[in-house]
Structure 1
Amino acid sequence: MGEIRVSGVGKAYKQYPSRWARLREWTVPFIKPQHQLKWVLQNISFHVQPGEAVGIIGVNGAGKSTLLKMITGTTQPTTGDIQISGRVAALLELGMGFHPEFTGRQNVFMAGQLLGLHIDELHELMPEIEAFAEIGDYIDQPVRVYSSGMQMRLAFSVATARRPDVLIVDEALSVGDAYFQHKSADRIREFRKAGTTLLIVSHSRDAIQSICDRAILLDHGRMALQGSPEEVMDFYSAMLAEREQNTIRQERLANGKVRTVSGTGEAEVSDICLINEKGQRVELLEVGATATLEVSVSIKVDVPRLVLGFMIKDRLGQAIYGINTHRLHRSLENLAAGDSVKFRFTFPANIGKGNYSVATSLSRFDSHIDTNYEWRDFALIFHVINTRKPDFVGCTSLDAQLEIEQSSPSVVMG
């Protein structure tokens, strides 16, 4: 079983004011240091237990890829210690280790040996690697003629030809087409069920929340937050909106969930509820029943333009449905301090039974990243039951209509 321990890890690079300063430091004995240290990562500590899946997120430049390179041993930490056990497979950079002039087949044998596989094993695994990569005759063509997606397919196929104890995946997986992304995600889930420890870097909320048990947020080379995938992804979304010096706060709800609220506060949701067909405020809906989401908004200062959006998420934080007034061409303009607005969205609750939450967004344009007045996760929690329709599997009720046409061959009597 694979395990990863990262203790007080930091990474710094030397920065010299000129090449002559670098030369002086190298050649002149006892001279004072001519460089300054540029810290990319500082004081990173976490433990990934055997069989656990952990996601690492953060904006570009936060230090994610550097951390993975240190964990896999391709670069060494400046401070701290990293311990990793078991057989490790890593996908860090697209086609890393592939020689452009060699064929895909030749690169499979080279890359496979770097992963610790023997020649005999690679001969045995080659048909499976070819079949999973699905690049056809290109397997015997030089890698330099491959598209980025083809390189990704082959690299992933080699790295996962044998189930590793530890699988480390960088954002490179997003390069593949949608079909291969689903295919590779299924293989990762199979490995997880079999006990593989997973460390994955991704900007995809769906990937982090559907695969990982825990998530770590890196910000400016430090650990900003560690917790459940949904909690960390909510905070990350709010952090992106904080570029204009908005505020972020987190509140623990009675059910144990953590609500993230961010924004300038120029407008805020003062009340939110679900209303059933009888006009009653409810927390329980039947599958397919008509429901109205009513959101009351208070304007605190003059607002030139207001867009309200909402997102329904399932218990794992996966997005089920979202819409906003900008996309419905119903945004409001020139609202004054003290104004109040009530929005009502009516829809059939054609979703599967289970628990759901509603996130709300008040912004100036389509995205809350541009002038975020307020972003509120878990603004409302409701439940869906099914006592009227045939029991079905999945998150959406499609009300499939069934027709059956049966015929029998005619019987000829002698």
Structure 2
Amino acid sequence: MGTITVSNLGKAYKQYPTRWSRLAEWLIPGHKARHSLKWVLQDINFTVSPGEAVGIIGINGAGKSTLLKMITGTTQPTTGSVNITGRVAALLELGMGFHPDFTGRQNAFMAGQLLGYSVEEIARLMPEIEAFAEIGEYIDQPVRVYSSGMQMRLAFSVATAHRPDVLIVDEALSVGDAYFQHKSFDRIREFRKQGTTLLIVSHDKGAIQSICDRAILLNAGRLAMQGEPEAVMDYYNAMLADHQNQTVRQSASVGGKARLDSGTLEAEIVEVVMLNKAGQPIEVVAVGENVWAKIDVRVNSEIDGLVLGFGIKDRMGQMVFGTNTFHTKQKIEHVGAGCLFRFNVYFSANLGVGSFSVHCSLVCNDNHIEKNYHWIDRALVFEVINIDKPLFVGCAWNELVFDIQKIHDRQ
């Protein structure tokens, strides 16, 4: 079983004021430093336990790829240490280690040996590698004629030909086609069931929340947050608009989970209530029941536009459905301070049995990146129960009609 222990990890690069400063530091006697340090990662500490899956997220430049390179040993840390137990397979930069003039088959043999396989083992595994990669006759063509997706197919197939104790995957999977992405994640899930420890970098919220037990958020080279994937992804989402001088807050627990809200509060969601068709507040909803959400909004400062976003999330934090009043062509233009609004959102709870939450947001146009006034995840939590529908599975309900006709009698 594989483990990963990262202790006080940091990475800095030397920056010289002129091109001659580097030479002077090497040649002139003495210990005077002629450079400054540019830290890209500092004080990173975490442990990945045997069989655990951990996702790493953060904006571009946060240090995610640098962290993985230090964990795999392709880059040396400036401070701290990394300890890994078990056999490691890593898929970092696309095509890393592939020689463009060699064929896919030749590169597979070379990459396999770098992973610790013998030539005999690779020869035995080659039919499985070819079958999983599904690149056909290109396996015997030079890699320079491969598309980025074909390189990824081959690299992933080689790296996962044997189930590793530790699997480390960077964003490389994102360049593949949808079919192979699904195929790759199916293999990753299967490895997880068999005990493989997983460390994955991805911007895919669905992948992080469906595969990982825990998520780590990097921001400006430091560990900003770690914990349950849904909570970390919500916090990350809120941080994406931090240039607006907004605040990010975690408030009292809702349904056993901390409610996260953020925004400039130029406009503010004051209350969110779920009601049945009789106008009574409810926390339990029947499958297919007609309900509505009452959302009261207060405008605290003069704003150019006001748009309400509304969505339903499942218990994993995946959005089941969502839209906003910009897309329904109901944007409110030029709103003065002190205005109060009530948004009534009517919908049928065509949902599966289980726990769901309401997401609400106030923005200026079609998304929160430009202007985020108020963003609330888990504004309220409600349960869906099945009272009068046939037994079904899944997170959504749809009424199916089966038309059965006998077209031939047995003679």
TM-score bracket, normalised by the shorter chain, equals over 0.9
Aligned runs of 1:15-414 on 2, under 5 Å? 15-253=15-253, 255-408=255-408, 411=411
* Matched position secondary structure for 1:22: helix
Q: Distance between the aligned counterparts of 2:306 and 2:314, measured in 1?
A: 27
Q: Deviations over 1:214-270 (max 9, x none)?
A: 111111111111111111111111111211111111124154311111111111111
Moved more, 375-384 or 269-278: 269-278
Tell me the equivalent position of 1:13.
13
Query: Normalised by the size of structure 2, how large is the TM-score?
Result: 0.98
Runs of 4+ in 1 over 4 A off after TM superposition: none
Q: Distance between the aligned counterparts of 1:108 and 1:175, measured in 2?
A: 19
Q: Deviations over 1:8-38 (max 9, x none)?
A: 0111111112221111111222251211111
Could you tell me how far 1:155 is from its partner in structure 2?
Answer: 0.7
One-letter amino acid of the structure 1 residue matched with residue 189 of structure 2: R
Q: Distance between the aligned counterparts of 2:267 and 2:149, measured in 1?
A: 44
Q: Is the 8 A contact 2:11 2:39 kept in 1?
A: yes
Q: Deviations over 1:113-139 (max 9, x none)?
A: 111111111111111111111111111
Could you tell me how far 1:75 is from its partner in structure 2?
Answer: 0.8
Q: Is the 8 A contact 2:255 2:381 kept in 1?
A: no
Identity rate, percent: 63
Q: Is the 8 A contact 2:359 2:378 kept in 1?
A: yes
Q: Distance between the aligned counterparts of 1:94 and 1:399, measured in 2?
A: 45
Could you tell me how far 1:273 is from its partner in structure 2?
Answer: 1.4
In structure 1, the gaps of 5 or more residues are none
In structure 2, the gaps of 5 or more residues are none
Q: Deviations over 1:357-388 (max 9, x none)?
A: 11111010111111110011111111100121
Q: Is the 8 A contact 2:254 2:378 kept in 1?
A: no
Q: Distance between the aligned counterparts of 1:117 and 1:168, measured in 2?
A: 18
* Matched position secondary structure for 2:9: strand
Aligned in 2, Cα 1:13/1:346: closer, same or farther, shift over 3 Å? same
Pairwise CA RMSD of aligned residues?
1.2
Moved more, 22-31 or 314-323: 22-31
Q: Is the 8 A contact 2:363 2:373 kept in 1?
A: yes
One-letter amino acid of the structure 1 residue matched with residue 96 of structure 2: M
Q: Distance between the aligned counterparts of 1:151 and 1:346, measured in 2?
A: 48
One-letter amino acid of the structure 1 residue matched with residue 259 of structure 2: R
* Matched position secondary structure for 1:282: coil
Q: Distance between the aligned counterparts of 1:292 and 1:409, measured in 2?
A: 51
Q: Distance between the aligned counterparts of 2:188 and 2:240, measured in 1?
A: 28
Q: Distance between the aligned counterparts of 1:254 and 1:289, measured in 2?
A: 23
Q: Deviations over 1:72-118 (max 9, x none)?
A: 00011111111000000001101111111111111110111111111
Q: Is the 8 A contact 2:286 2:349 kept in 1?
A: yes
Q: Distance between the aligned counterparts of 2:33 and 2:264, measured in 1?
A: 45
* Matched position secondary structure for 1:112: helix
Q: Is the 8 A contact 2:262 2:376 kept in 1?
A: yes
Could you tell me how far 1:410 is from its partner in structure 2?
Answer: 5.9
* Matched position secondary structure for 2:343: strand
One-letter amino acid of the structure 2 residue matched with residue 15 of structure 1: Q
Q: Distance between the aligned counterparts of 1:71 and 1:35, measured in 2?
A: 26
Query: Normalised by the size of structure 1, how large is the TM-score?
Result: 0.97
Could you tell me how far 1:50 is from its partner in structure 2?
Answer: 0.3
Moved more, 336-345 or 158-167: 336-345
